[in-house]
Amino acid sequence: MTKWCYSFRQGEAEGGAALGDVLGSKGAGLAEMARLGLPVPPGFTISSDACRYFHAHSGQMPPGLTEAVDAALAKLAADAGHAFGDPKWPLLVAVRPSGRVSTPGLMGTALNIGLNDQTVTALASTCGDEVFAYDCYRRLVELFCCVALDHEHYEFEEALDKHKEAKGYVRDAELSAADWREVLGIYFEIGKGRFPQDPREQLWAAIRAAFLSWHSPRAQAYRALHDIAEDIGAAVVVQAMVFGNIGGESGAGVAFSRNPATGARELFGEFLPNAQGDDVTSGLRTPWPIRESAIGGKPAAGSLEASLPKAFTELDRCAGCVERHYRDMQNMEFTVEAGRLWMLQTKSGRRTTTAALKIAIDMANEGLIDREAALNRIEPASLDQLLHPTIDPSDRPLVLASGLPASPGAACGEIVFSNRDAESSAALGRKAILVRIETSPDDIAGMHAAEGVLTARGGMTSHAAVVARGMGKPCVTAATGLRIDYEDQSFTVGGRRFVKGDVITVDGSSGKVMAGAVRMLRPALTGEFATLMDWADRVRRLRVRANAETPSDARAALKFGAEGIGLARTEHMFFEGERIVAVREMILADNAAGRRAALAKLLPMQREDFKELFEIMAGLPVTIRLLDPPLHEFLPKTDAELASVAKALGADAAKLNKRAQELAESNPMLGFRGVRLAVAFPEIVDMQARAIFEAAIEAAIETGRATHVEIMVPLVFAKAELDLVKARVEATAKAVELETGIASRYRIGAMIELPRAALLAGEIARSAEFLSFGTNDLTQTTLGISRDDAGAFLRSYVAKGVLPTDPFVTLDVAGVGELIALGCERARQARPDITLGVCGEHGGDPDSIAFFDRIGVDYVSCSPFRAPIARLAAAQTALGRKSPERKDS
């Protein structure tokens, strides 16, 4: 026979944390506390099975429940010393829904159940406080009407206010018992006489309301957002009332066993004297801190510690007890009734990332948990908060607009609208925020020079967002209502106009754009952070590299613990200053000789770039990807720019225009780029290979450490392509050896970013010493989604459940994942010692990392600023973190 009710009282309980599904979070917490001998008011929890039955049977209560509740009430009466419905000395109960996961949307709490016109006088005489008794009664009527009869709180609040106004009262405390009786009469009218006088009827209506609250729109929305199953149902806790509103020795509060903002090991919380629990959270009265000196050492007279020291000591003891029991920081609710502490709830407390980190490390050092548990306590993605400057929460800035939180961190600076202005600001040591309608590869230099980026268009995966994340620059995209006028060098938003030079702050973590310079907090990578990373590095199998091509990125990569560079995009090096002129000369050349002449100008610059990279990364692998983007990306876009470039090049504008038209593509993503360029213009490969080898030799001499050069060929889909490039690279290596007398040691591999490449990875591996999966492009081609154009439908696809998550954030395991797994398997079969890496954005996503670890990828490479996230995620997956399931979609 199904067990419907689980009783508990101080010292003993049926069930506990192990029955979380059945008892819900609140019921399980109460059972645990009861068994720990902590002071909990007696009560019982109705199993969530009853709720499931209720919903599966059109609102019928399951057979046997009535009898079980009767029995539990009888036991409760015995424990409490008086009975529910007793007209002389009535036992009042609270009825609260209890979801498996704490769910804010789960309303439906009813207090003081058991009061009616008769028992209210009994209560008044028992406790000798008529005002208190009627206050309790009106609270019951209001809550009951709202919870069980679909009324709204404002109806009752308005009636109360009206009464107070009529009487000239300001505070509730001024109402007399007679006033409350009068108010109660109005409340009954609002409830259209439907408030039941029978306590049992009240109880069952409250239980039914608690069941129904499981399907309230707010609860459903919350579950959808947090991926909580719909069919669990809520348990219901029925518990003897304790009263915090019974005078000066009473009160209610919320406590944390440690500081949830800083993680400091101290009891933390708030206390409201002479109040019930909902008064604390309603915000109508300002609560006191729990501890006497919680705010900057200032003594707090109304604190629990100062006003009720005995209850405080007991609370401190209880907090330590539950924290040790749960081995985690606890968030508790309590009531003090006439000087006596009662614990009403305990659960794991929410905390900032800073606090989470400190608590995890501290608890491990205290021996409360082991290091593995400490590692698993931190959600890797949350480290992002620590790695970027953050808005000081004590500042209250003017928010101008909200956009997408495209790249985390906050930055402030003067508004600029062009790369040139961003760069000249940087040259003068002034901080700038680059504001663009949207960005293109032309803007790389400006983005680098700016402190942060703000765009009017583009999604989380737009060019601005991706590049900014790669650079670790704060970025807000798609800022609503932002109208940019380049000509006027200004933008307007919400009716306000900002011009070049005005100071704004962007918060890429929240998506907010603010006026002026907002105060910020800087990240510290020492202390607990360093400890956690150290522990993570000891357990992970998966190696972590960074995507970096500039010296500052490379240094950041080292700082954030990357074990090499997994992707250095050489095209970024082509855009700066005089280089772009030579690049354009090359594109305009009529033949290989002309291209060679232009490339010769680029050679020394590329060599210097590489040399600096090799020197910074001395001793670590550096993977250099050969030129990837279609050539038209290097040409000017508008007619005016074209004309000016033609003039600068001394070239015929018509010819330049013709070449630009020849190179224009309807789908550049699928066009003439990557290895296809290398096959058509092998002289580019020659130049890049020479720059790499010469730089590696010089760097090795200068640093005295061997270079680990890896040359990566992009967009390969056939072994033959790789072979053609490989032959040029080998010939160049030989030539450089002949000239310098030093043999270059290097590895050559392919970037796998097309479905065919993944399928043919076995063939390709026969010519490749490593393969690196470019998951961004592989996602684009496997799903047929252009990242730049996905805005129109991708968000709605996730919302409608067509895709479980944004496939550009977390790897699409069902599609792209299968191709990668297949590719890895085939590559290993063909060449067992091959190195397999991942260098798309997914390399920094914890869920994706769990998948890569499972299929045996050797390393992931991500933005330097995500390297710590990857390190922690890799540790967690080594400790058993699961990769996302292949969802049926």
Interface region with a second copy, contact rule CB under 8 A, candidates 285-293, 477-485, 598-606, 781-789: 781-789
Nearer Cβ to a second copy (247/755) = 755
Nearer Cβ to a second copy (615/628) = 628
Binding positions for substrate are 569, 625, 753, 774-777
Task: Compute φ and ψ for 126, nearest 5 degrees.
Answer: -60, -45
Nearer Cβ to a second copy (364/764) = 764
Please identify which residue in 814, 825, 830, 884 interacts with a second copy, judged by CB under 8 A: 814
> At its nearest, how many Å lie between a second copy and the CB of residue 630?
9
List 889's β-bridge partners, or say none.
none
Separation CA 456–CA 521 (nearest Å): 26
> At its nearest, how many Å lie between a second copy and the CB of residue 822?
9
| Closest residue by Cα to residue 471 from 862, 57, 785, 119 | 862
> At its nearest, how many Å lie between a second copy and the CB of residue 362?
45
Separation CA 873–CA 791 (nearest Å): 28
Alpha-carbon separation of residue 454 from 395, 406, 429, 508 (angstroms): 21, 9, 20, 9
Six-digit token string for 845: 């996503």
> At its nearest, how many Å lie between a second copy and the CB of residue 417?
20
What is the DSSP annotation of 622-686?
A: EEEEPP-S-GGGGS--SHHHHHHHHHHHT--HHHHHHHHHHH--S-GGGSS-THHHHHH-HHHHH
Please identify which residue in 249, 372, 788, 825 interacts with a second copy, judged by CB under 8 A: 788
User: Does position 780 bind a second copy by CB under 8 A?
Assistant: yes
Separation CA 605–CA 607 (nearest Å): 5
Angle (CA) 646 651 657, round 5°: 60
Nearer Cβ to a second copy (70/789) = 789
Nearer Cβ to a second copy (717/773) = 717
> At its nearest, how many Å lie between a second copy and the CB of residue 830?
11
Q: Can you list the alpha helix ranges (DSSP code H) found in 817-866?
A: 818-830, 846-854
User: Does position 717 bind a second copy by CB under 8 A?
Assistant: yes
> At its nearest, how many Å lie between a second copy and the CB of residue 404?
17
User: Does position 756 bind a second copy by CB under 8 A?
Assistant: yes
> At its nearest, how many Å lie between a second copy and the CB of residue 838?
18
Nearer Cβ to a second copy (82/676) = 676
Name residues contacting a second copy, limited to 696-715 (CB under 8 A).
715
Q: Determine what percent of the chain falls in helix, strand and coil, rounding each to the nearest 5.
A: 50, 15, 35
Interface region with a second copy, contact rule CB under 8 A, candidates 25-33, 428-436, 496-504, 720-728: 720-728
User: Does position 783 bind a second copy by CB under 8 A?
Assistant: yes
Size of residue set near a second copy by CB under 8 A: 51
> At its nearest, how many Å lie between a second copy and the CB of residue 756?
3
Binding positions are 569, 625, 753, 774-777
Host H or E run for residue 289: strand 288-289
Number of H helices, E strands in the chain: 34, 32
Separation CA 442–CA 576 (nearest Å): 9
User: Does position 628 bind a second copy by CB under 8 A?
Assistant: no
Q: Can you list the alpha helix ranges (DSSP code H) found in 704-793?
A: 719-740, 755-759, 761-765, 775-783
User: Does position 552 bind a second copy by CB under 8 A?
Assistant: no
By the 8 A CB rule, do 422 and 439 touch? no
User: Does position 309 bind a second copy by CB under 8 A?
Assistant: no
User: Does position 816 bind a second copy by CB under 8 A?
Assistant: yes
Query: x/- site string to a second copy, residues 272 to 301, per CB under 8 A?
Result: ------------------------------
Catalytically annotated residues: 463, 839
Interface region with a second copy, contact rule CB under 8 A, candidates 36-44, 240-248, 694-702, 774-782: 774-782
Name residues contacting a second copy, limited to 124-153 (CB under 8 A).
none
Alpha-carbon separation of residue 583 from 65, 497, 625, 633, 634 (angstroms): 80, 39, 17, 11, 7
> At its nearest, how many Å lie between a second copy and the CB of residue 793?
5
Positive or negative: CA dihedral 47, 53, 58, 62: negative
Name residues contacting a second copy, limited to 575-604 (CB under 8 A).
none
Interface region with a second copy, contact rule CB under 8 A, candidates 251-259, 267-275, 758-766, 837-845: 758-766
Please identify which residue in 182, 537, 608, 763 interacts with a second copy, judged by CB under 8 A: 763
Separation CA 330–CA 260 (nearest Å): 9
User: Does position 812 bind a second copy by CB under 8 A?
Assistant: yes
Name residues contacting a second copy, limited to 665-694 (CB under 8 A).
665-672, 676, 679-680
Nearer Cβ to a second copy (394/796) = 796
First to last CA, the chain: 39
User: Does position 888 bind a second copy by CB under 8 A?
Assistant: yes
Please identify which residue in 305, 753, 853, 858 interacts with a second copy, judged by CB under 8 A: 753
By the 8 A CB rule, do 837 and 772 touch? yes
| Closest residue by Cα to residue 275 from 305, 247, 304, 241 | 247
Nearer Cβ to a second copy (676/828) = 676
By the 8 A CB rule, do 350 and 359 touch? no
Residues with Cβ within 8 Å of residue 10, at least 6 apart in sequence: 34, 37, 38, 39, 40, 42
Separation CA 150–CA 577 (nearest Å): 68
Please identify which residue in 781, 810, 835, 883 interacts with a second copy, judged by CB under 8 A: 781
Interface region with a second copy, contact rule CB under 8 A, candidates 168-176, 329-337, 620-628, 808-816: 808-816
Please identify which residue in 580, 589, 785, 834 interacts with a second copy, judged by CB under 8 A: 785
Q: For binding to a second copy (CB under 8 A), which residues are involved?
A: 665-672, 676, 679-680, 715, 717-721, 724, 753-756, 759-760, 763, 777, 780-786, 788-789, 792-793, 796-797, 800-803, 812, 814-816, 818-819, 888-889
